[in-house]
A and B are shown apart, each in its own frame.
Chain A
């Protein structure tokens, strides 16, 4: 995959991976064996018909490939860039048993980008069903649910607290991995399906989930608000100027364009020597953004070793190529400040790996006497997030003990007519898992509303599930207001 050279790309926000040419795509599509087993389809969290779309590419029916993908996944240009394919479809590819797996993600991106370039929009005629569905949050899970419900003929309104839709795709993932312009095109495709986006709307405070169902005429609601409340370590010095969460750094830089200050009004004050704590994908984004903002040195501090690091190997690799320094088995103990309450350094200690903890990874244990001071002027925390508290504060939704929304196996929440999916249910995860959750919730929502897909063959339910002579799936539902 052609890429920008590390020295050049470390100074700009243009995409690192430049994308396949038609020749690259055709050559790669030929490598797929079209094997009958299809492990890739099972490996995909949303079950895209991968062999079918690859065959279309090989046949040069690129529009057909786009149709196959968008049948299941509406955002191919997004997922082709940010999915961790190596642990999903590509990780189980048959060809990958002996050679390099088929580059499924890159082929998906190729098709998605061609669709953007040539302005393809799939705008099916859909019979209105008469139901109105509200989606809280315009991130990947909300968008996926919105598309499915729109295709089922519902009137769909997506509420977003920010001034621009897209959620983590816009504010979290930097432009050099996923350009915001790509996100905007994908959102326009949803608008073409009839989905309405209402920004600057903080659900929970402007109106409650309950009000959506009782006063605002929504028949069903999906909550995809994400898990953004950032964690800090609680070590001394965290309130010094120069300490910030990765979410804050990324939101200022990606969404508010602080990198173009003062042409954009949001300031950032990037450091010259930046330390990022954590080694997940968010940490990699924070590291590489800090570099592009002009830092002389960018360091990653992680308490476990490289093999335990949760980030995609490709992102760690790109970061290493760009000159970011990694300090494995290191954990901060205190943030040190100067007399003007600004960060001047970080006191760290070395760690070694002990017994496995609850996540199955070996627990890091401090090595006594290994403390050392590390000079820096900015410390970025990328150690994870917790559940956003607003919906818990403003509705009667049941939460689990960590504060996330409690759901059953069909993602139904504790209030009738409300479903939830994505990070607000599972904790921080990936874009494709969020989309998978949005689609899963949509299936349950359609069943609840009594909507059936025309292209699905529904199995006859067992006799025990018939009520009053009607199969359970044939029931219609009506909302009855008492009093």
Chain B
């Protein structure tokens, strides 16, 4: 446990990969030791904040830190992008949550990452590599300037297929293109792990379905507690309902009702937009106040 006088959840490293994607490395020795691939944390930036789930992109038991890679899309993630500098502290970081990914005996797996690039699927790739499985990585970016963690990913993959929208790096196309190439090239793929925006995970599931390749996805519904007591994260799997936070977040992609997930992700769209507008307005006012102070 951290020494009683130390403030918890200190940010020890920060990196910006683009104007929307950034990385935070947080000191949490206990969680660094306990975390496993596929798990996530729930974070509150400050006491008035909301609780948001973020995938564990890396964890280092020796350094005693966990790493989150975050996309600034709404009020909370944008506010964190602005405020979370090295030396600052988050108000609450709880985890590791969720059932760890099952890293089984496989000859070869394909790890597909989109949206946040390779970050959410890196722990699975590394765990499979350590187990002796051949790992094919497929990762998508808008263009070559946005590529990050390239060396890190290549260190655990036998092959990496980079996909860019404009073809400036790797092949031109979405990650589904890269996935199709991998399936065409390798007949011994036992499992595909695809993590990214729901529309991407759904598309990957449809690529693998005719080949009957086991495909695991990590679902990201809206969450509050993350401990299974509110049911807000319920998802339709096959004929039943599961809670992504305690029954997941990994599920068999061919059983997931992605349309239902995407509809439920829009639950608070009006409130999210209002919060973002208010945040942008307060940023403008702050900037104007600072400019006039300097006068």
Are A256 and B51 closer than 8 Å at their CB atoms? yes
Contact with B along A385-403 (1 / 0, CB 8 A): 1001110010000000000
**Size range of the chain B interface in the assembly:** 35 or more
Min CB gap B37→A, angstroms: 14
Are B224 and A252 closer than 8 Å at their CB atoms? yes
Alpha-carbon gap, A170 to B39, bound state (A) = 27
- Verify if B274 is at the interface (C-beta below 8 Å from A): yes
Point out the residue from A198, A205, A239 that lies within 8 Å of B234, measured CB to CB.
A239
Residues 142-157 (chain B) with a chain A CB within 8 angstroms = none
Min CB gap B160→A, angstroms: 31
- Verify if A230 is at the interface (C-beta below 8 Å from B): yes
- Verify if A407 is at the interface (C-beta below 8 Å from B): no
Are A248 and B232 closer than 8 Å at their CB atoms? yes
Q: Name the CB-closest residue of B to A257.
A: B48
Point out the residue from A238, A388, A393 that lies within 8 Å of B229, measured CB to CB.
A388
Are A389 and B246 closer than 8 Å at their CB atoms? yes
Q: A201-B94, A267-B275 are in contact. Are A161 and B225 (CB under 8 A)?
A: yes
Min CB gap B165→A, angstroms: 29
Min CB gap A388→B, angstroms: 5
Residues 211-236 (chain B) with a chain A CB within 8 angstroms = 224-232, 234, 236
Contacts of B241 in A (CB 8 A): 232, 234, 238-239
- Interface hub of A205, A239, A247, A252 (most chain B Cβ within 10 A): A205
Pick the interface stretch among A51-59, A99-107, A258-266, A438-446: A258-266
Q: Name the CB-closest residue of B to A201.
A: B94
Contact with A along B63-107 (1 / 0, CB 8 A): 000000000000110000000000000011111110100000000
Residues 1-33 (chain B) with a chain A CB within 8 angstroms = 1, 8-9, 30-31
- Verify if B294 is at the interface (C-beta below 8 Å from A): no
Are B230 and A230 closer than 8 Å at their CB atoms? yes
Are A205 and B267 closer than 8 Å at their CB atoms? no
- Verify if A207 is at the interface (C-beta below 8 Å from B): yes
Point out the residue from A200, A207, A381 that lies within 8 Å of B94, measured CB to CB.
A200
Alpha-carbon gap, A238 to B232, bound state (A) = 11
Are A389 and B228 closer than 8 Å at their CB atoms? yes
Residues 221-280 (chain B) with a chain A CB within 8 angstroms = 224-232, 234, 236, 241, 243, 246-247, 260, 263-264, 266-268, 270-272, 274-275, 278
Alpha-carbon gap, A234 to B236, bound state (A) = 11
Min CB gap A261→B, angstroms: 7
Are B97 and A205 closer than 8 Å at their CB atoms? yes
Are A229 and B229 closer than 8 Å at their CB atoms? yes
Alpha-carbon gap, A51 to B264, bound state (A) = 55
- Verify if A18 is at the interface (C-beta below 8 Å from B): no
- Verify if A410 is at the interface (C-beta below 8 Å from B): no
Q: A206-B96, A207-B30, A232-B241 are in contact. Are A161 and B227 (CB under 8 A)?
A: yes
Contacts of A245 in B (CB 8 A): 230-232
User: Which positions in B face A, CB cutoff 8 Å?
Assistant: 1, 8-9, 30-31, 34, 39, 44, 47-51, 75-76, 91-97, 99, 224-232, 234, 236, 241, 243, 246-247, 260, 263-264, 266-268, 270-272, 274-275, 278
User: Which positions in A face B, CB cutoff 8 Å?
Assistant: 161-163, 198-202, 205-207, 226, 228-230, 232, 234, 238-239, 241, 244-245, 247-248, 251-252, 256-257, 261-269, 341, 381, 385, 388-390, 393
A sample of 28 inter-chain contacts (CB < 8 A) reads A161-B225, A162-B94, A200-B8, A200-B9, A202-B97, A205-B96, A206-B34, A228-B229, A230-B231, A232-B234, A239-B234, A241-B266, A244-B231, A245-B231, A245-B232, A247-B229, A251-B224, A261-B271, A262-B274, A263-B48, A264-B49, A265-B76, A266-B224, A267-B271, A269-B270, A341-B264, A341-B266, A393-B246
